[in-house]
Structure 1
Amino acid sequence: MNDSLPFYLVLAMRTPDFQPEAGVAHQAFLQDLIEQGLLELTGPFTDGSGGAYILRTTDIETATKIAHNDPLHITGSSTLTVHEWRAHRPRAGE
């Protein structure tokens, strides 16, 4: 992971057209991102409405291009939005 790259939060919210097989392809997509060193965190929401993942890449255009290659997006199973996120670990006194 490159600590100098910004974070991009990808929210994936299920649509009424959600296809379970897209979820399987999505997991393979995430594994590929791990192997490329692009995926920081990932996981589903406990209410079943979707999930999120955090990318580390150069800019929002690249992050959006990556997200638009997600099988959840391609199949219309989820609506994906990408946000640049200035995340940090707070220290005592902040």
Structure 2
Amino acid sequence: MPIFVKIETGRVDKPTFDKYVPAHKAYVEDLIAKGHKARTGYWAEFGGGMMVFEAQSMTEAQEIIARDPLVANGCVNYQLHEWRIIVE
């Protein structure tokens, strides 16, 4: 299954962002349970993070990202890319 990467930067203050983190974590756990092999995290320096996951297509990946609570609640700006691995 193709691998996708959402690279994000925050667009709201930390208290607003932190309000949606538990829902984001639960969402990622649900993606894992559904077989999307999702991983999420943030940069050591302030201001952004990344989520890596599998989806059948870019369309499905876009749908997955649209339902992410951090995106749905306007907490982040993001870019979505299909990642094609050349060495494993």
TM-score (norm 1): 0.80
- SS of 2:29 mapped into structure 1: helix
Question: Do structure 1's residue 11 and structure 2's residue 14 form an aligned pair?
Answer: no
Tell me which structure has the larger Cα radius of gyration.
1
Asked if the contact 1:30/1:39 (under 8 Å) is kept, the reply is no
Count of residues paired in the alignment: 86
TM-score (norm 2): 0.85
Q: CA RMSD in A?
A: 1.6
1:72 corresponds to which residue? 70
Asked if the contact 1:39/1:53 (under 8 Å) is kept, the reply is no
Task: Kindly state the Cα deviation for residue 81 of structure 1 after the two structures are TM-superposed.
Answer: 2.0
Asked if the contact 1:38/1:56 (under 8 Å) is kept, the reply is yes
Distance 1:10 1:16 in 2: 18
Letter in 2 for 1:8: F
1:29 corresponds to which residue? 27
Structure 1: which 5+ runs fail to align? Answer: none
Bigger drift between 13-22 and 50-59 goes to 13-22
Task: Kindly state the Cα deviation for residue 17 of structure 1 after the two structures are TM-superposed.
Answer: 4.8
Bigger drift between 41-50 and 15-24 goes to 15-24
2:54 corresponds to which residue? 56
Structure 2: which 5+ runs fail to align? Answer: none
Asked if the contact 2:28/2:39 (under 8 Å) is kept, the reply is no
Distance 1:40 1:87 in 2: 16
